[in-house]
Amino acid sequence: MASPHCLLAILASLDLSENQSLPSFSLSPSGYARSEVSFSETTLKLERDIAWWINGSKGEVRVGITIDIKRGSHSIEIKSWTPELDPSLRNIHRILITRGRDGSSPTVKGGPLTIPFHTLLLDKPRQGEGDLVFTAGMMLHDLAERIWNAIDDADGIKAKKRNK
C-alpha cells in the first residue's frame, strides 16, 4: 500500500480554471491566500502537486511547504519550496522528524523552519512583527506527536476490525 502524504501550499491564491486541483480541505479568507491539505500516493505526486501550486500561480505563490508522512517508519519530512526562474522548483529547506523506537526519544534534524515575513505577507515587517518560525519543539509537539497519535488511533481501529 502506498503511504499517504500531506500537502500544504501557502499563499496559493489561484483562480482555478480547467486544470483544477481541488483540496480535500481548504481555508481561504476572502481576498487572501488559500491553503491546501490533501493526500497523495507518492512523494513524486506530492512534489508535482506543490509544483502545480507554485508554478501555476504566475508568481503569486512565493513559498510552499510539503509534509511527507512515512507510514511504516512514522518519519515526517518537511520541505519548503520556492519558485525558480525556470519551470522547476527549488527545495530550500528539509527537516526530518523521526519517531523514537523502543523508548528512545524522537529526533528533529534540520529545524527550525523559517518562513520570511515578506514572503508570507508580501510586506516588510513593522514593529513587533517578524518571520514565522517553527522551532524543533513546536514541530515535534504541535505537529509530529499529533500525527503519530492519529496513526496509532487508526492502526488500533484497524486491529479491532481484524479481530472481530
Terminal-to-terminal C-alpha distance of the chain? 22
Q: Are 32 and 11 in contact (CB under 8 A)?
A: no
Element (H, E) at 35: strand 35-40
Cβ-Cβ contacts under 8 Å for 25 (sequence gap 6 or more): 36, 37, 38
- Is the pLDDT assigned to residue 47 strictly greater than 60? yes
Among 32-36, 50-54, 86-90, which range has the highest average pLDDT?
50-54
- The mean pLDDT of 49-55, rounded to a whole number, is 82
Q: How far is CA 96 from its chain centroid?
A: 12
Provide the residue count of the chain: 164
Q: How confident is the model at residue 27 (pLDDT cuts 50, 70, 90)?
A: very low
**Mean pLDDT for the stretch of residues 43-59:** 80
| Type of residue found at 102 | D
pLDDT at 60: 74
132: pLDDT strictly greater than 60: yes
Give me the pLDDT at residue 140, please: 92
Query: Residue 128 has what pLDDT?
Result: 92
Amino acid identity, position 82 = T
Is the confidence at residue 59, as pLDDT, over 90?
no
Structural domain boundaries of the chain? 5-162
Tell me which of 35 and 79 has the higher pLDDT. 79
Q: Give CA–CA dist 69/57, Å, rounded.
A: 26
Cβ neighbors of 106 (< 8 A, separation 6 or more) are 97, 98, 99, 100, 140, 144
Q: Please say whether the beta carbons of 130 and 114 come within 8 A.
A: no
User: pLDDT for 69-120, tens place per residue?
Assistant: 887 788 888 888 888 765 566 778 899 999 988 889 999 999 899 888 888 7
pLDDT recorded at residue 9: 45
Say how far apart CA 51 and CA 18 lie, in whole Å: 17
Residue 153 above 90 pLDDT? no
Which pLDDT does position 154 carry in this prediction? 83
Sign of the alpha-carbon dihedral angle for 149, 8, 78, 122: negative
